[in-house]
Structure 1
Amino acid sequence: MMRPQDLLQPRPEGLYCSPGDFYIDPVRPTPRAVVTHGHSDHARSGHGIVLATPETLAIMTERYGADFAQGRQPVAYGERVDRDGVEISLAPAGHVLGSAQAVLRWRGFTAVVSGDYKRRRDPTCKGFEPVQCDLFVSEATFGLPVFRHPPDTEEIARLLHSVRQFPERAHLVGAYALGKAQRLIRLLREAGWERPIYIHGAMQRLCALYEDLGVELGPLEPATAERGGDLAGEIVICPPSALQEKWSRRFADPVTAFASGWMSVRARARQRGVELPLVMSDHADWDELISTFRELPEALLWITHGREDGLLRWAELEGRKAQALRLSGYEDEED
């Protein structure tokens, strides 16, 4: 009988596919890598051949330069390629632009390595598509019942209400530069915000790349030092770290906000000095993780990089086979 470990094994470099001789999201340079998405804990430079979606390869080129790998193999969603008898395809993961689940088929066995994923609508990327499988490898970033994220529209409405309530103050919104910032901008546009949105210099290149890849973001302006005192009533998006840096002091009495799933933990908001916590995540919350597992009723579950214990207990109560897959080197970009 086919065993999952005959196809996939955790190694220090990452999750290794032995029959196909490649790694998925390796944390160290490897000869052959499949990369699920462009966040730096999953997409690293220095590999031999990198297989990923065209969007993820474009993001890696923007972040690391044209020589980030010795070679690259773009694979569109649904396209199938062969690696030494292992069939590889990519399915949308709904995490950020170009994010994918790696679908491996070998000797009648199907394994899906989901990378990072979310289940709610995101206007900047294709939504998650479940793939029936024998093994599903899932993250567990928000794998506790306490994590139930509110609708994005409610959080955007809270931000816009604060802008109307405090027109004399700029609103500085911390958001991760890849994925979260662009999603936040698109949601603001859908909510009717047509004025320019001001962005930190660290956001400019990735926002420009999103536009080049077909994601319209509307008018964006740089949040320069000269404009700092003139942005009352405006929305400024910056990396979360910039909220604590000298850069933020150019704004007179700003409202500090932070868009992250961790903002449901009020102690974290207080520790960061966040006045307006916005609970917005690019990861699945507890209910979305559970609903995903239920959509894949035949799959053995491997749970990794997150809060595995809660999901393992749920699986035990549901009579599902599950185990922790403790891969190292993966951090939560929202934290």
Structure 2
Amino acid sequence: MIRPQDLLCPRPEGLYCAPGDFYIDPVRPVDRAVITHGHSDHARSGHGAVLATPQTLDIMGERYGAQFAQAMQPAEYGEVVNRDEVEVTLVPAGHVLGSAQAVVRWKGLTMVVSGDYKRRRDPTCPPFQPVACDVFITEATFGLPVFKHPDDKDEIARLLRSVAQFPERAHMIGAYALGKAQRIICLLREAGWDETIYVHGALERLNALYERHGVDLGPLAPATTGRKKDEFAGQIIIGPPSALQDRWSRRFPDPVAAFASGWMQVRARARQRGVELPLVISDHADWDELTATVDEIRPGELWITHGREEALARWAELHGVSARALALVGYEEEDED
């Protein structure tokens, strides 16, 4: 009788597939890796061979240089790749551009590794695709019942109301450089903000990459020192979260410090960062999305890789799904620089 742990098992390097001899999102260099998405806690350089979506490979190349691995194999969504006796298929995770779940099949057993994911619509990437499986291996970054994220459109509307209310001030939004910044830009465009959005230099290369992959970000310009301070009044500037408290922010007129993150639901975090306008916009599933996903898939077993594992495992057990917490280390909280 085949056991799930015969196909995937946790090791210090990450989830390991012995029959296919590869790791999924390993936290240290390995010979063969399957990478779910381009965030640095999941996509590291130095591997022998990397299998990922073309977008994720491009992101890794942009961040680490063209030779980030000895060999790179792109796999489109839905394409079946054989690793010895194991079939690997990447399907959309809805997290950021190129993000994927890894569907691993072997001798009639199907295990799905979610990577990071969300169930909300995102104009910058395909939506999460549920896959029937024997074992669903999920994240739980926001795996507590208190985390219930509001509608993205409502948060963007709050931002635009503040811009209208304080036309003499600049609005400076801290947003993670990969995924969150581009999503905020697209949501602003959908809400009718057609003006130039000014961006920190740390975002420019990834913005250009998103554009190359067909994501229209509209008019952007560098938030450089070549402009007078008062020219930024009434404007929206987006930079990495660290820029909110950096000298860089002093070039703007009385800036309203905003921060887009699921953690902005925690008021203490907003206060610690000096955030005046917290925007609760997350690229991770909240509690309702996590539990609805498990309820929809109804796997034979639920494994939880990282985050708030205990609460989600308890919820699963109460709803008839056997669960275990893997407590993998090396995966960071959302939006930390």
How far apart in 1 are the matches of 2:121 and 2:165? 28
What are the residue-to-residue correspondences of 1:80-95 with 2, within 5 Å? 80-95=80-95
Paired letter, 1:3 = R
How far apart in 1 are the matches of 2:39 and 2:116? 10
How far apart in 1 are the matches of 2:72 and 2:241? 31
What are the residue-to-residue correspondences of 1:1-335 with 2, within 5 Å? 1-227=1-227, 229=229, 230-335=231-336
Shift of 1:68: 0.3
Deviations 1:277-309 (A, max 9, x none): 000000000000000001111331001210011
What SS class does the counterpart of residue 226 from structure 2 fall into? helix
When structure 1 is superposed on structure 2, of 245-254 and 208-217 the one drifting more is 245-254
Paired letter, 2:283 = D
Shift of 1:144: 0.3
Q: CA RMSD in A?
A: 0.8
Q: Give the TM-score, by structure 2 length.
A: 0.98
Deviations 1:195-252 (A, max 9, x none): 0000000000000000011100000000012326120000000000010111111112
How far apart in 1 are the matches of 2:276 and 2:302? 39
How far apart in 1 are the matches of 2:24 and 2:164? 46
Runs (5+) with no aligned partner, structure 2: none
Q: Percent identity?
A: 73
How far apart in 1 are the matches of 2:54 and 2:173? 29
Report the CA distance shift for 1:228/1:48 in structure 2 as closer, same or farther (over 3 A): farther
How far apart in 1 are the matches of 2:72 and 2:305? 27
Paired letter, 2:52 = A
Paired letter, 2:286 = D
Runs (5+) with no aligned partner, structure 1: none
Displaced runs of 4+ in structure 1, greater than 4 A? Answer: none
Q: Give the TM-score, by structure 1 length.
A: 0.99
What SS class does the counterpart of residue 33 from structure 1 fall into? strand
Paired letter, 1:266 = R
* Aligned length in residues: 335
How far apart in 1 are the matches of 2:54 and 2:129? 18
How far apart in 1 are the matches of 2:169 and 2:47? 46
Shift of 1:324: 0.2
What SS class does the counterpart of residue 227 from structure 2 fall into? helix
Shift of 1:2: 1.5
